[in-house]
Amino acid sequence: MRTDVQQGPEIWIRGPVTVPEPGPQEPAQSSATARHYSWVGTHGGAGVSTLAAVYGGHDCGRDWPGPEDPWSVLLVARTHASGLAAVLRTLEVFRLGEAPPGLDLDAVVLVADAPGRLPRPLDKQVRLIESLVDVYRVPWVSGWRLGDLGGTPPRETEALARLTGAAARRR
């Protein structure tokens, strides 16, 4: 029996897999580097520039990332009816394979269009989007409306800050 071949579960692997020859080991990374993102707005006024300024990453506006931009995409929309509809249309572009090849859709970032709770019909649309892709919500921030992008991101966006590396940059 050959010892340089491993058998894998047929559901995952078709045929034998050869065991790689031992070679020089790569040095272990002491800390993970943050992934870089391109913020892509699904409609005008989504908040892409503000999010890129607060959380870091590349501001693509409403365009797809270019060759020099990060290909990890965070789609951005406001939580009003037309913003949520725009997200669903853009998700359909990805589902149909019509987005530029090589793009990696990481999540949708929904930015509150007003302070307070969402009306029930809009909340229902948000839950539909959440069933399709990871969603990060950004609450209404009055200071951002006035151009004050300093300080720490809102506490409710802690997970988004960790994803984008903004939490590490603020320490």
- Confidence grade of residue 5 (pLDDT, cut at 50, 70, 90): very low
Confidence of residue 12 (pLDDT cuts 50, 70, 90): very low
pLDDT tens-digit series, residues 36-46: 999 999 999 99
Q: Rounded to an integer, what distance in angstroms lies between the CA atom of residue 100 and that of residue 79?
A: 25
pTM over 0.75: yes
DSSP 138: E
- Do 60 and 40 meet the contact criterion of CB atoms below 8 Å apart? yes
Instruction: Name the DSSP class of 155.
Output: G
pLDDT in tens, 108-141: 999 999 999 999 999 999 999 999 999 999 999 9
Residues 6+ apart with CB under 8 A from 48: 39, 40, 41, 59, 60, 61, 62, 76
Q: Nearest-CA neighbor of 159 among 49, 43, 74? A: 74
Structural domains in the chain, CATH included, are 38-170 (3.40.50)
Radius of gyration of the chain (CA): 20
Q: How far is CA 170 from the centre of its chain?
A: 20
